[in-house]
Structure 1
Amino acid sequence: MADYLLHTSSGVSIRDLARRKNCHASTVSRRVRKIERLRDDPLIDAALRRMEAKVRSTLPGDRQAQHKEFTQMSDTPQGTAHGDQPEFEQEAKRILRRLCESGSVLAIAADMDTAVVVREGPDGATTRTAVVSQEIAQAMAVQGWIETSGTGRILRYRITQAGRDKVRDLLDQEPARQAPVFGMAEAPAGFDGAAPVGEPANSPAATSSRRNRYSLSESPLTVLARRRDKSGDPFLSDDLVRCGERLREDFELAQMEPSMSQNWDKFLTAGIDEGRSGAGTTGYGPAAARARVMQALSDLGPGLSDVALYCCCYLEGLESTEKRMGWSARSGKIVLRIALQRLKRHYEENLTPEAQLIG
């Protein structure tokens, strides 16, 4: 990409670039043509234009300095997002996980400052599940993690195989969550496929844990929403699913706070400081999202807050949650529905209509 930007923006010839790279001119020419074809993607085109404008404004006329700057920006995935590596990877993991869910796309328009992730349900209804800045979306497109196949005022991007591989790598880097054992619970398993506590990563127990964790394409809420009750109606209505998604979105945003220890188990039931839970709930950023999660869990109370945290935020299956809490089989879905009903009332009573929207 650095060669392409130097050739198109700084006027460096193909032969000069080939001499610098110690390769044939045809090799550089193929690289330049490949990037030029990618510019048909509006996100990639916008990212390259932003890189060009930044270097031109800071290093006018200095080709050697421009070459160094373009190379540094092109070698890092966060270069087009103007952010640091940990922040970019946190945001990428949050969005790519959402795009792994069945029916999810990232929608963006030219006049929008942000992109939204929407998921289409079996009945054709769409649910907004996440919001991301254009800069992060551009960086993911440049890395080849998302792609679009259509045209129009609103573009829809889907995750690529490279994006799925990336989100798995990011999830594998997460430390195991050492949750406490409740009642009849078995040995605690790691979050997102990590090995159970005390088991080597390549042990049979660790392999089984990875296989039995939730699928990246579905969450416990989406699975339960497809079920029907005795009257034939969906077991979970759309508004209850949206409430669970709102809690999960705040939970994931809260993880981006540098000072956060990432151990949410201490915030369950008695661990919540109610005196601080209402502070900053209508603001923006990780601190405000963390306060909203704490306030919601505090309002749910013992039992309901546990099942909401495990199923909506940790994405733990209902059977695992029932064993962890010592509940009887097939009782978890009832408790989860009650928790979501209580959560819906909490959002209606404590948040303005604008603040109830995800993002």
Structure 2
Amino acid sequence: MRRNPPRNFPEWIPREVQHYLEHTEGGISIRQLARDVGCHPSTILRQVRRVENRRDDPLIDCALCELAAGHFGDQKVTRYATYGDMQALDSAALEVLSRLCHSGAVLAVAEGMEKAVVVREGEDVLNKLAVEQGLAGVLALLDWISCTRSGRLRRYHITPTGRAVFSKMMAARENRARATLEQGFGETQSSFLPHSRSGSRPGAKERRARYGLGETPLDTLARLVDKSGAPFLEKDLVQAGKRLREDFELAQIGDQLAQSQAVFSVSESCGRSASVHISPLSKAAKTRATAALVAMGSGLSDIALRCCCYLEGLEAAERQLGWSARSGKIVLRIALLQLKSHYEQMDTLSGEGRKSQMIG
């Protein structure tokens, strides 16, 4: 028999946790829960036992106690009031999961402390990230993090489930940014190369540049490491990709300013033709970017242009080019190696070190 009717659970609470709370706090029998859900009672029993065994973790135990008090008692769930839906929870958990994806990163929880911290071994303590214990409890309850060392100072690492959820969050964020840009003030970018890129469909719309993102595809790949701990992309390869993007954006800005100048010049001269001058800086940037794309060749220049210049995700680039899954990062690495070699040869011929033309 039900003792206390529960309030509406947040959508992020797993079904087995809801069944556990309804059985232990609401007083609903296992058979009744099974009839309501339409499954065998043994399924509900296994779920209840599984959640009960997880209460050895203090974070999970505290989260379950507060959820029980807030949804079956008179107490309000103050710690979880801001996580009423998945969107709010994803927004709060994104930064924590992104930090934990780094090699050697842990979430540390000490007894008697109100907040947990995310730190990275061998990194400055000043770079730590403070996390509310309520949010840490939610991450543990959802099995996005797990305790790997118990004691007075407990350490939590991100789980494979947490990494998969983080990838989905980043993909959703990328899709939202793409939709905002394509429906907002984004301008269609013109191609540097006179010939059509391989893999592009006839009549397909030109890709749009995406500015203002918090993280580029190169930044994501730069965090990957192999079994020996070496980074998947060396720092000089990432710099080569960013160097290509700088030249690309300088050339695009120069073209757009020239188009605007042409419009205003014609209006001011009452229909008379007016010569439009593009700055030497933009001309030089366009020449450098074109030479770099030609040096990489067809195929390599396609993935470099999409990921480095248009900031397109690897999965989207693979779909557009018709490549197999997880092949884009390998081809992109080869393209960056070719790009790095081209820039080294160009710097050797010029006899001067490279100076960045942009801020940031």
TM-score, normalization by structure 1: 0.46
Answer with 1 or 2: which has the greater Rg. 2
TM-score of the two chains, using structure 2 as the length reference: 0.46
